[in-house]
Amino acid sequence: MTRILMVCLGNICRSPLAEGILKSKVDSSFIFVDSAGTGNYHIGGLPDKRSINVAKKYAIDITDQRCRQFSVQDFDNFDVIYVMDNSNRRDVLALARNQQDKDKVKMILNELFPDENVDVPDPYTGGLHGFEQVFEMLNKACTIITQNMTQ
């Protein structure tokens, strides 16, 4: 079983979409996918309505997800930790206990643009269009993730 964690700040906009998209592309018998936020603002809450609606448009249901905060145990529980932006990366790396923990942390858009450390923009304060763009980027990145798994 490969275990993949998607991480953003609030765990209500970007990482729930990343979790839902990747889950829609993989066999859950072999790949476990979850998401978490570095912040604690929305613990226990549903994903943002705009993320729910954009996912729904592509036939992905993310309403079973509940927000949780990233914790140091996640380094033990996951094989790969995909962060959405450079700020998430700093926050997650600050909790790493050793090099093995650090090596698990990857920028998700580096799957599309290797070594460029491009951020998935935070759509929280913007309009619906931002959520559409985020969906598109994450969909491309998750397609590459699944392609690399089967090689």
Place of tokens 């491009």: 118
Please calculate the CA angle 82-56-120 and round it to the nearest 5 degrees: 30
Q: Are 66 and 46 in contact (CB under 8 A)?
A: yes
Residue 40: alpha-carbon gap to chain centroid: 16
Catalytic residues: 8, 14, 122
Q: Is 35 an interacting residue with respect to ligand 4NP (CB under 6 A)?
A: no
Binding status of residue 122 toward ligand 4NP by CB under 6 A: yes
Between vectors from CA 7 to CA 133 and to CA 145, what angle results, nearest 5°? 65
Looking at the Cβ atoms of 91 and 101, the one nearer to ligand 4NP is 91
Among 4, 5, 6, 13, binds ligand 4NP (CB under 6 A): 13
Per CB under 6 A, 54 contacts ligand 4NP:
no
Contact of 32 with 109, CB cutoff 8 Å: no
Q: Is residue 20 at the binding interface for ligand 4NP, with CB under 6 A as the rule?
A: no
Structure tokens belonging to residue 82? 């995909």
Stretch touching ligand 4NP by CB under 6 A, among 5-13, 26-34, 72-80, 139-147? 5-13
Smallest distance, ligand 4NP to C-beta of residue 80, A: 19
Q: Which is nearer to ligand 4NP, 74 or 122 (CB)?
A: 122
Strands (DSSP E) found in 9-119: 31-37, 80-83, 105-107
Stretch that binds ligand 4NP, among 2-10, 19-27, 69-77, 93-101 (CB under 6 A): 2-10
Instruction: Give me the residues that bind ligand 4NP (CB under 6 A), please.
Output: 8-14, 37, 41, 122, 124
